Structure formats: structure tokens, C-alpha cells
């Protein structure tokens, strides 16, 4: 089934500075303008300059954030800030992070994966993508001939072979360690023994890979491979579904800028299609995105309701989006839906009347996710939030060998 390979990556040269964490950053799609400024200030070599650099009004075809990323990338290699690895290796990333007051640990395998078209049923998506984001990632990939952020994915790992292997290997001293700005601590192990690489490769011969986060980046890699057949691998971080630190949260949403008639029709249909119970707001409800109960909270006109779906065969996400499409219109709905990953921000938007309706969504269980996606089913946009996001810049994939 899936084919994985060791990677001969590019990494930050810790001999120049062993504070590796200050050079890393979160993925491009969760970094706002303020974060970019702070990351720029953290180090002039922070990978944000490569992954999602600043844009300026004076930018044109010859000078823009993509050409600057390429320039920085090549300069940093020349000055030995970034160093090409001598050999191909697999890596294990251990992340230590907080969920509320609880410290959790998760482990993933960093490797190259053969890029497969979806119809081959080896690598499975779970959501549709948008053109603009793919164009952005393609321009960066095409200009730099590199990939700075891995795709987050997982395998079912029914026999827990990967899970057990990762736990066993992380009992030794790590190859590198650090703390990522705005994120969490990490340890990294390097695996270059042939027998271990062969063993891990054999695990994947009977596995399907499920994309958890990074659909736009993966589909960009498919397009890049079509234009450059020799570039047929993509760096991924792969988790076992049995990793207890692999958290799957709900992704909340809001409705905005609807005219009064459509808003009234929308609320009426929601109340008709779901079971409805009014509740009194409590701060603990901000953690609803961690509940796998198939119900969610709706905020409307300063009141809050628990909505339960009547149809057991589909998720709350599929049900609510079918109503969005029906009332607002399939083409227009995306213009009125705002996706919010942080429930504190959603509550604030609701209190400030920046939105008309808020939906504090539940989480999907890993079992439902795997079962649904393995059948080729696509969920509505932003139906999952695998927490936390992976760091960018730890092992860089370089094409121009």
C-alpha cells in the first residue's frame, strides 16, 4: 500500500546556535500578521521568512514573498545556517504540550512518502480544498524547490506496531531538543539503521495514510509531481491513531452578513432539523470542541442552545452544512461562514456582535473519522482540528539535488 522512504533533508545547523526552537514556527495557515511580526523579531533566520514571509505594496513579478523566500533559503544554505544532511534518515518527533492543565506527549514519524493520486486509494483526504491556498503553496514550492512544513497524517495502525516502535525508540537520548515560539517543547530522534528503516517500511505496506492536516499542501505536491515527474515524494509526519496524545478537536464556525430574511429562514430550519434545548452559558462550554457527543452549541440573539442531530448516519458537520447550502445557497454559503479554531475568540465575536450566529462544534471521534474517510467520504471544510499543529522548519525537504 503506502510507500515511505528516509529523507535526506536540510536542517538548521545547531553547531552555529543550539537554540533550535527559535528558528521554527507554526504552519502558514494559523499564523496571523501579529505572529509574523513576532517571529521576524525572534530571529532573522526564523523559518517564517521562508514559509510565509511578509508581503509589501511594492511587490511585483520579480520581487515578492516567494522570490525573497528563495533568496533567503539559498543564502542560509551558503552561509551554513541551514545544513544539508549527509545521509538519508527517518526521524521521530516527540512533542510535549499542554491541554488545559494537563501535560501530554505525542510521537510521529518524519519521512518521505510517495505522492499518490487519491483515486489510487492509498492516501485519503477528508476535505475539499480551495484554489487560492493551493496557488500560494505552489508558487512557494516552485520558487524555492523546497517544502518547509510537513503534512500531518496518520495510519490506523491496528496492531500498534508503529505506536510501540515510536515509544520504544524515544526512551533513548534525543538527537535534538527545543521549544517552538507560541507552541511547545519537542525532542527529535534520528534513525539511520537499515534494519529499523526496513521494519518501519514494512509496517506501511499494509496501511492506508489519512491526511489530518495539510490538504492544500498535499494537492500542491500532486500538481508539482505532474509537472516534475522526478519529484514524487512528500515529507510527512505520520501518527498512529492509537497515540493518546493525538487530539482531535471540533472546529467552530459562525454566520455573518446575512440579510434578515435568510437569517430568519436559517435559524428556523436549524430548529426544525435538530433537537433543541436552551441552556445557560457557562465558561466550561468553551471546551465543547473536545466533546465527542454528537451535539453542539448554537448562540443566537444572546441565547444559547444545545442542538442534537436526529439523523445518526451523518455527523453534525454534514447536517449543519446541508442546511447552510439549502438556505444560503451552495455558492454563496462560503461568503457567510467564518471558521474559528479558538472558542474564546468565537465567544468574543458573539459578545461584540461581529457575527450573527455562533456554532461551538463538537469533536469527531477518531473511529468515526477513520471509518468515514476510508470510505472516500469528504467532510465539510474545517470539520477537524488536530491539536496541536506541527512545527515548521524542523526537517526541510529539498528537491534540487
Asked whether residue 344 falls in the same domain as residue 393, the answer is no
pLDDT tens track for 73-95: 999 999 999 999 999 999 999 99
**CATH assignment at residue 116:** 3.90.1530.10
Asked whether residue 273 falls in the same domain as residue 322, the answer is yes
Higher pLDDT: 311 or 175? It is 175
Tell me the average pLDDT across 377-394: 92
Name the 3-class secondary structure at 244: coil
Asked whether residue 285 falls in the same domain as residue 218, the answer is no
Long-range contacts of 324-333 (CB under 8 A, 24+ apart): 324/255, 324/266, 326/269, 327/262, 327/265, 327/266, 327/269, 328/258, 328/262, 328/266
Q: How far is CA 117 from CA 16, 121, 214, in A?
A: 40, 8, 15
The answer, yes or no, to whether residue 247 has pLDDT greater than 90, is: yes
Asked whether residue 350 falls in the same domain as residue 227, the answer is no
CA-based torsion, 60, 66, 72, 74: positive or negative? negative
Quick check: is 128 in a domain?
yes
Question: How far is it, in rounded angstroms, from Cα 149 to Cα 236?
Answer: 8
Range of the domain at 297: 251-363
Asked whether residue 195 falls in the same domain as residue 282, the answer is no
* Confidence band, pLDDT 50/70/90 cuts, at residue 21: confident
Question: How far is it, in rounded angstroms, from Cα 361 to Cα 29?
Answer: 20
What residues contact residue 4 under an 8 Å CB cut-off, 6+ apart? 109, 111, 112, 113, 114, 200, 201, 204, 238
Asked whether residue 295 falls in the same domain as residue 238, the answer is no
Question: How far is it, in rounded angstroms, from Cα 217 to Cα 136?
Answer: 10
Quick check: is 378 in a domain?
no
Tell me the average pLDDT across 354-362: 98
Asked whether residue 201 falls in the same domain as residue 269, the answer is no
Quick check: is 86 in a domain?
yes
Asked whether residue 89 falls in the same domain as residue 226, the answer is yes
The answer, yes or no, to whether residue 401 has pLDDT greater than 60, is: no
DSSP β-ladder status, 209-213 and 151-155: antiparallel
Quick check: is 381 in a domain?
no
Asked whether residue 159 falls in the same domain as residue 73, the answer is yes
Quick check: is 374 in a domain?
no
Quick check: is 372 in a domain?
no
pLDDT of residue 253: 97
pLDDT of residue 150: 97
Quick check: is 376 in a domain?
no
* Confidence band, pLDDT 50/70/90 cuts, at residue 311: confident
Question: How far is it, in rounded angstroms, from Cα 380 to Cα 339?
Answer: 11
Residue 25 grid coordinates: 514556527
Give pTM, 2 decimals: 0.92
pLDDT of residue 334: 85
Give the position of cell 512545527.
391
Give the position of cell 443566537.
300
pLDDT tens track for 188-197: 999 999 999 9
Asked whether residue 48 falls in the same domain as residue 138, the answer is yes
Residue 5 grid coordinates: 522512504
Question: How far is it, in rounded angstroms, from Cα 378 to Cα 401?
Answer: 36
Counted domains in the chain? 2
Tell me the average pLDDT across 136-152: 97
Asked whether residue 99 falls in the same domain as residue 213, the answer is yes
pLDDT of residue 35: 87
**Mean confidence (pLDDT) of the chain:** 94
Asked whether residue 50 falls in the same domain as residue 156, the answer is yes
Give the position of cell 528516509.
6
Give the position of cell 492536516.
213
CA angle 394, 398, 400 (to 5 degrees): 165
* Confidence band, pLDDT 50/70/90 cuts, at residue 19: confident
Quick check: is 241 in a domain?
yes
Burial class for 209, CB neighbours closer than 10 Å (0-12, 13-18, 19+): buried
Question: How far is it, in rounded angstroms, from Cα 221 to Cα 327?
Answer: 36
Amino acid at each position: 500500500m503506502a510507500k515511505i522512504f528516509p529523507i535526506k533533508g536540510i536542517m538548521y545547523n545547531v553547531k552555529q546556535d543550539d537554540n533550535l526552537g527559535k528558528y521554527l514556527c507554526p504552519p502558514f495557515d494559523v499564523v496571523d500578521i501579529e505572529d509574523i511580526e513576532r517571529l521576524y523579531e525572534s530571529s532573522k533566520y526564523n523559518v517564517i521568512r521562508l514559509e510565509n514571509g511578509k508581503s509589501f505594496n511594492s511587490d511585483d513579478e520579480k520581487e515578492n514573498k516567494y522570490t525573497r523566500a528563495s533568496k533567503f533559503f539559498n543564502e542560509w544554505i551558503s552561509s551554513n545556517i541551514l545544513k544539508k544532511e549527509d545521509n538519508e534518515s527517518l526521524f521521530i518527533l516527540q512533542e510535549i504540550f499542554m491541554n488545559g492543565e494537563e501535560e501530554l506527549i505525542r510521537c510521529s514519524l518524519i519521512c518521505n512518502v510517495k505522492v499518490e493520486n487519491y483515486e489510487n486509494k492509498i492516501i485519503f483526504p477528508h476535505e475539499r480544498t480551495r484554489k487560492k491556498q493551493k496557488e500560494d503553496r505552489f508558487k512557494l514550492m516552485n520558487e524555492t524547490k523546497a517544502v518547509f512544513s510537513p503534512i500531518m497524517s496518520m495510519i490506523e495502525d491496528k496492531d500498534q506496531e508503529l505506536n510501540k516502535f515510536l515509544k520504544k525508540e524515544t526512551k533513548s537520548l534525543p538527537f535534538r531538543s527545543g521549544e517552538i515560539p507560541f507552541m511547545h517543547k519537542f525532542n527529535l530522534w534520528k534513525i539511520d539503521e537499515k534494519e529499523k528503516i526496513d521494519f518501519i517500511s514494512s509496517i506501511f505496506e499494509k496501511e492506508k495514510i489519512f491526511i489530518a492536516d495539510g490538504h492544500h499542501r498535499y494537492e500542491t505536491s500532486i500538481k508539482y509531481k505532474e509537472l516534475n515527474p522526478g519529484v514524487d515524494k512528500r515529507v510527512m509526519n505520520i501518527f498512529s491513531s492509537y497515540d493518546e496524545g493525538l487530539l482531535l478537536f471540533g472546529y467552530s464556525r459562525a454566520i455573518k452578513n446575512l440579510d434578515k430574511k435568510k437569517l430568519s429562514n436559517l435559524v428556523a430550519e436549524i430548529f426544525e432539523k435538530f433537537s433543541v434545548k436552551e441552556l445557560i452559558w457557562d465558561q466550561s462550554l468553551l471546551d465543547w470542541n473536545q466533546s465527542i457527543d454528537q451535539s453542539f452549541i448554537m448562540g443566537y440573539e444572546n441565547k444559547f442552545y444545545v442542538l442534537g442531530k436526529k439523523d445518526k448516519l451523518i455527523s453534525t458537520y454534514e447536517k449543519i452544512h446541508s442546511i447552510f447550502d439549502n438556505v444560503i445557497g451552495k455558492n454563496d454559503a462560503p461568503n457567510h461562514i467564518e471558521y474559528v479554531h479558538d472558542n474564546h475568540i468565537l465567544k468574543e465575536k458573539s459578545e461584540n456582535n461581529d457575527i450573527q450566529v455562533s456554532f461551538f462544534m463538537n469533536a469527531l471521534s477518531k473511529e468515526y473519522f477513520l471509518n468515514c474517510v476510508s470510505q472516500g467520504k469528504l467532510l465539510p471544510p474545517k470539520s477537524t482540528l488536530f491539536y496541536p499543529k506541527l512545527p515548521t522548519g524542523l526537517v526541510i525537504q529539498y528537491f534540487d539535488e
